[in-house]
Chain A
């Protein structure tokens, strides 16, 4: 039923507020095709992270709907209604957070096999084998039995990515995954994400790293004030933005960089 042109994700008029006065998302519409790598940029408080959290099913929404692969995923009629989330659909989405969120009481390999074993009922031996292979691929082969506290930030974040991939997600969400890292550790994490990009894994990335955005995006969305201000190929949005607000933002970000 999903033909090549059918959207993977379709977000319709998404509204979300925290309390009565803080409106974070004010009617967001985004359509994402299979194989796209969407980078969301924009000022703090513009709703980027909230958008990803909503897509992961971590936040209640006021109104709007999201479909995934043609199936209804998240919807809410109004702010008082319960947000309906299809948990089966949610399981095909993976997310990596800014602060790694590895489980501190579990070793690296236990972090990786927990969900496949408990959620999908996979045999421990087979999950362990897959996990070990993923760790090797990410240059963490020797860290399987280490605990998160013994790893560097870059290593933790690569483990977190591997953990999400263990469930074979159809879409990956990356929420400022390099923001908490020391500058010299950023590249090793971005390399891993670039590796995934080569396999055409659909992803939505929130980042402040414009170099990374330019290198990984097949499409860039500039989000500010809770709405999509500009949406297009990276050369356009990052190179010669049409909207004034986008231009201001890009100028300021690159100015700081220099």
Chain B
């Protein structure tokens, strides 16, 4: 191999600016996903099919189409259909946030349904009414169980956010692409970009692993 690596040709400044945009996208999308995913989970568990069906359609749309298609669709079709354009970053946040909301709703639903029947029985035996059983037994149990999945989904969105570069949001990926073109050093640039993504994601995955091990001890 006669390629000489030159990492000095890549200036970190723009990449770190891009990282800040990426983190903003991630945090904003996670706020949407974590907060609104929960009521959405309640809708998909509704016994009324007029409520359940649209909610499930929403979730399945986001789960069954590529994120990149969703982002492009949002960017081009929403302004046309609704006559609003909110700026590329806002559109990126909305697309990522709604995507995450769908996945988090599934995470909430799964953990609510995974609360053991025995826990509810114990609540009945203690005279708690249905609302009290949900508030004091089912939800605290379920929300704790959902934390590792929410974190995993959150970190997936951190990585997926790289896709918004194609609609000109100046995130880490966008900056890396620009820099690679300017410096003719794509290998070095994308290596550094990858390391930055890794440096943020890896600790979170470790935290998830730790939480899951602790939960196994708690529930056994």
- A complexed with B: yes
List residues of chain A with CB under 8 Å of any chain B CB: 53, 56-58, 87, 90-91, 93-95, 97, 99, 101-106, 114-115, 118-119, 147, 149, 163-164, 167
Interface of chain B: mostly helix, strand, loop or mixed? helix
A173, closest chain B residue (CB): B125
Is the Cβ of B118 less than 8 Å from the Cβ of A114? no
CB distance from A52 to the nearest CB of B (A): 10
Would you list the 7 A-B pairs with minimal beta carbon distance, nearest first?
Answer: A115-B126, A101-B122, A91-B127, A95-B125, A119-B127, A149-B218, A105-B140
Is the Cβ of B127 less than 8 Å from the Cβ of A57? no
Q: A97-B125, A105-B140 are in contact. List 14 more A-B contacts (CB 8 A).
A: A58-B121, A58-B124, A58-B125, A87-B129, A102-B122, A114-B128, A115-B128, A118-B128, A118-B132, A119-B128, A149-B218, A163-B126, A164-B125, A167-B126
Of listed B124, B125, B132, residue having the most chain A CB within 10 A: B125
**B219 contacts partner chain A, Cβ-Cβ < 8 Å:** yes
Known: A149-B218, A167-B126. A97 touches B121 (CB 8 A): yes
Which bucket holds chain B's interface residue count? 20 to 34
Known: A99-B118, A149-B217, A149-B218. A104 touches B125 (CB 8 A): no
Is the Cβ of A103 less than 8 Å from the Cβ of B137? yes
CB distance from B209 to the nearest CB of A (A): 19
Is the Cβ of A104 less than 8 Å from the Cβ of B121? no
When distances are taken between beta carbons in the complex, the residues of chain B under 8 Å from A101 are: 118-119, 121-122
Is the Cβ of A149 less than 8 Å from the Cβ of B219? yes
> 21 A–B contact pairs at CB < 8 A?
A53-B121, A56-B125, A57-B124, A58-B124, A87-B129, A93-B125, A94-B125, A95-B125, A97-B121, A97-B125, A102-B122, A103-B140, A104-B218, A105-B141, A105-B144, A114-B136, A115-B126, A115-B127, A119-B127, A163-B126, A164-B126
Known: A103-B137, A114-B136, A149-B218. A90 touches B126 (CB 8 A): no
Within B120-159, the residues touching A (CB, 8 Å) are 121-122, 124-129, 132, 136-137, 140-141, 144
Alpha-carbon distance between A243 and B129 when the two chains are bound, in angstroms: 43
List residues of chain B with CB under 8 Å of any chain A CB: 118-119, 121-122, 124-129, 132, 136-137, 140-141, 144, 217-220
Alpha-carbon distance between A114 and B128 when the two chains are bound, in angstroms: 9
A110, closest chain B residue (CB): B136
Is the Cβ of B218 less than 8 Å from the Cβ of A103? no
Is the Cβ of B144 less than 8 Å from the Cβ of A114? no
Is the Cβ of A56 less than 8 Å from the Cβ of B127? no
When distances are taken between beta carbons in the complex, the residues of chain B under 8 Å from A163 are: 126
Known: A58-B121, A105-B141. A119 touches B126 (CB 8 A): yes
Of listed B121, B132, B137, B140, residue having the most chain A CB within 10 A: B121
Is the Cβ of B118 less than 8 Å from the Cβ of A97? yes
Alpha-carbon distance between A167 and B124 when the two chains are bound, in angstroms: 13
When distances are taken between beta carbons in the complex, the residues of chain A under 8 Å from B126 are: 114-115, 119, 163-164, 167
Known: A114-B136, A118-B136, A149-B218. A103 touches B119 (CB 8 A): yes
Alpha-carbon distance between A101 and B137 when the two chains are bound, in angstroms: 11
When distances are taken between beta carbons in the complex, the residues of chain A under 8 Å from B124 are: 56-58, 90
When distances are taken between beta carbons in the complex, the residues of chain B under 8 Å from A104 are: 141, 218-219
When distances are taken between beta carbons in the complex, the residues of chain A under 8 Å from B119 are: 101, 103
Alpha-carbon distance between A105 and B144 when the two chains are bound, in angstroms: 8
CB distance from A215 to the nearest CB of B (A): 25
Is the Cβ of B122 less than 8 Å from the Cβ of A167? no
When distances are taken between beta carbons in the complex, the residues of chain B under 8 Å from A56 are: 121, 124-125
B218, closest chain A residue (CB): A149
B126, closest chain A residue (CB): A115
When distances are taken between beta carbons in the complex, the residues of chain B under 8 Å from A97 are: 118, 121-122, 125
When distances are taken between beta carbons in the complex, the residues of chain A under 8 Å from B132 are: 118-119
B121, closest chain A residue (CB): A58
When distances are taken between beta carbons in the complex, the residues of chain B under 8 Å from A147 are: 218
Alpha-carbon distance between A104 and B137 when the two chains are bound, in angstroms: 9
B133, closest chain A residue (CB): A118
Of listed B127, B140, B144, residue having the most chain A CB within 10 A: B127
CB distance from B146 to the nearest CB of A (A): 13
A118, closest chain B residue (CB): B132
A163, closest chain B residue (CB): B126
When distances are taken between beta carbons in the complex, the residues of chain B under 8 Å from A102 are: 122
Alpha-carbon distance between A99 and B118 when the two chains are bound, in angstroms: 8
When distances are taken between beta carbons in the complex, the residues of chain B under 8 Å from A93 are: 125
